[in-house]
Amino acid sequence: MVDLKKEIKLSDLVRRPKKSKPARNGASAARPAKRANAKKKQELVGLKIGASQIAAALVVNNGSTPRLVQLARRPLEPGIVVAGEVRDVPALAAALESFFTDNKLPRKGIRLGIGTNRIGVRSLDVEGIDDVRQLGNAVRFRAHEALAIPMDEAVLDYHVTGETVTESGGISRRVLLAAAYREPIDHYIEAFRSARLELVGIDVEAFALLRAVAPTRAADPDAAPSAVVAVALGHDRSTLAISDGTVCDFMRVLEWGGGKLDAAISRALGLTLEEAGEVKNQLSLEADAEPDPRIARARSAVLAELETLARELIASLQFYQSEPGSLPIAEILVTGGTSQLPGLPEELERLIRARVRAADPLAGVRAEPGAASRDDLASLAVAIGLGVEQ
């Protein structure tokens, strides 16, 4: 339920030379949106690169509802991308070149998602400043206090999400601020340039997740305000995003992914990780009784590991609700490849004691038949959100 007009865009990262400084007024977030809106028809390739796969979604944005045309994904060799950061630039470039060629994807109009603990997102209130340049300077000054990222090593972007009049008659602006370390992003840009692929934007995965599974809808005037919580369970990390129905209020990247389940099964049964993954694919958490003792031990190991995930989610949700202006949590939407384990949403609901349900990755798009019928949509949710422009 993120309004893209109020979304942080890091598109200037791929256009500006590496050693140049960020725009002083921080207004780069608005300029790419204007160029995009000037086109009657805009094709975007949303691209998510994880530790275990590359996922892409080709979306045509030329109407009230974006049209999902094509989906593609492919495994990625371990070690190329770790914890959301590139460790082997040439290997990633080669993988991207092959992926785009084999799937006949457009080599232009690509929006990449990033999601690591080296990204900071905060909401700030800035009062008494009318001039755009002065506002940008004030935001950068506040960013130094609000985010644990050295400003000389970071790229900063912001957008004003609302304005109110104070008791004294002045203007107070609510600003959504995002900052990321420059070096990891430069590695992605280098890989794309080597693969002859044209990036038009770099976006925060949490924002894309919300666009995909919780698109903005008209508010029910009779309903009590509540937060929208979405979780994408990846292989080596998971993304938590919380929206007030309009903008992303809170995000966190959890150092937990489906690989933890493989490791737990491996330890319990004395298997390799590859063998453990095959056993995981046979599991279901829906039935209590399991006649095969080997599968029963694997199931117990998975249930124990899910308790770790639940504790991390509970701690993050409690932190969010301790913040001023936080909203009650109505439900938690889960997606990502790991969420496809039968019975996982129900088990998380039992552990967290809040309603949990499988998200619909197609909630924000109109999908072509070939895309809508896929059985791996949960693994493509973030890529779909990255392709959506409103």
Going from the C-alpha of 84 to that of each of 51, 78, 322, the distances in angstroms are: 7, 12, 28
Q: In this predicted structure, what is the pLDDT of residue 40?
A: 53
Domains and CATH numbers, the chain: 4-119+181-214+361-387 (3.30.420.40), 218-358 (3.30.420.40)
pLDDT tens-digit series, residues 315-326: 999 999 998 888
358: confidence class by pLDDT, cuts 50, 70, 90 = very high
Higher pLDDT, 113 or 8: 113
75 pLDDT higher than 90: yes
Higher pLDDT, 11 or 304: 304
Mean pLDDT of the chain: 85
Phi and psi angles of residue 170, each rounded to the nearest 5 degrees, phi first: -85, 175
13 pLDDT higher than 70: no
Strand ranges, E, within the chain: 42-49, 53-61, 67-75, 81-82, 85-86, 110-114, 119-127, 154-165, 171-181, 199-204, 227-233, 238-243, 248-254, 329-335, 356-358, 366-367
**Of the given ranges (7-11, 48-52, 273-277), which has the lowest mean pLDDT?**
7-11
Strand ranges, E, within 166-254: 171-181, 199-204, 227-233, 238-243, 248-254
Going from the C-alpha of 107 to that of each of 47, 120, 147, 370, the distances in angstroms are: 12, 29, 35, 21
62 pLDDT higher than 70: yes
Closest by CA position to 236, among listed 73, 381, 51 = 51
389 pLDDT higher than 50: yes
Q: In this predicted structure, what is the pLDDT of residue 219?
A: 55
Residue 151 to residue 141: CA distance in whole angstroms: 9
Phi and psi angles of residue 287, each rounded to the nearest 5 degrees, phi first: -110, 140
Q: Are 299 and 283 in contact (CB under 8 A)?
A: yes
Q: In this predicted structure, what is the pLDDT of residue 218?
A: 57
Greatest alpha-carbon pair distance for the chain in Å reads: 71
225 pLDDT higher than 90: no
233 pLDDT higher than 60: yes
